[in-house]
Chains A and B, each alone.
Chain A
Amino acid sequence: MTNRLDRIMERLSRTAARGMSRRSFFGRASAFGITAASMPLLPVSRANAAQQPGESGDPQSCDYWRYCAIDGFLCSCCGGSTSSCPPGTEPSPITWVGTCRNPVDNKDYVISYNDCCGKSACGRCMCNRNEGDTPVHQPAGSNDINWCLGTEVGVVYNCSTAVVLGAAD
């Protein structure tokens, strides 16, 4: 049985080797590899990339430009980033929105300070800058509200993100 299988495989391999050059295989494989790798370099329009402003500064530092109106722990120090929550937490669907001036192009951008919720307070990189913060009777601009109220996981606050929504013009 084993001998028979061996013979069949041998015959198939020899037939394939006779009909196919190894060089042509390597040629085609590398052509495919190069094409696949260079696809993302083509100058196609990227909607998200176009909106993002020029960056300077350290997202783990409270003086980073996007944090001009934040009040809370920076998600960048807590396992998340300026635009994503740490694993195991849920971003609040409702949020408060402000504007910050970007030092790179000196333009104002609309920033959404979504809270991340569902795990106890991160405790790292507390940042409370409050530029443009309004009293709680004007909630759309107030950072003193626990915005985790809108989440499924509950009102436990973990940290705050600072997502750029677009230029404020």
Chain B
Amino acid sequence: MRLVVLPVLLCAAAVAAHAGGIAPNLTRNGRSAHINYMTECQGCHLPDGSGQKGSVPSMKAELHRFLKVEGGREFLVQVPGSANSKLSDADLAALLNWLIPKMGGIAADGFKPYTPEEIATYRSQRLVDVTGTRAALVAKFDQPETSSVN
């Protein structure tokens, strides 16, 4: 029996490695996604996600657009506010899965929730040109952005 299980486990490990291979940090800080939003994001993005014209882009009813273009799902994790936050991969996944339906203009069942494994993989790929990457994604939107950073 053991001889059968071992290859299965090895196979599963190989699949995991192929899918990204980054072990996620699953530590939880014990706080709800909303409280983590308050302490990590709200200071600049404001309680309703509307941001600050000229310096902090609005997330309100805008985030869903990123999910519709290639590379956008990764960008929402790799953007410095997400990637550099003090949140673990598990807490960041919970926060994004709360935030996107709450402020992003899309229903909770309208997008695939992030998993901690996915967060770990995207987070390990550092964005070098943040504004350039963002501008390239925004250019792929169906309709122009309603608010802009610049």
Contacts and interface: CB of A to CB of B under 8 A. Distances in A.
Instruction: Report if A and B associate in a common complex.
Output: yes
Interface of B: 31-32, 35, 38-44, 46, 52, 55-56, 81, 84-86
A141 B84 CA distance: 12
Interface of A: 93-99, 110, 112, 134, 137-141, 147, 149-150, 165-166, 168-169
Q: A-side binding surface: helix, strand, loop or mixed? A: mixed
B35 A168 contact: yes
B84 A110 contact: no
A138 B85 contact: yes
Given A97-B43, A150-B52, A137 B35 contact: no
5 contacts: A94-B43, A138-B84, A139-B44, A140-B81, A168-B38
B46 A97 contact: no
B44 A94 contact: yes
Nearest to B81: A140
B39 A99 contact: yes
A97 B55 CA distance: 18
B84 A112 contact: no
A140 B55 contact: no
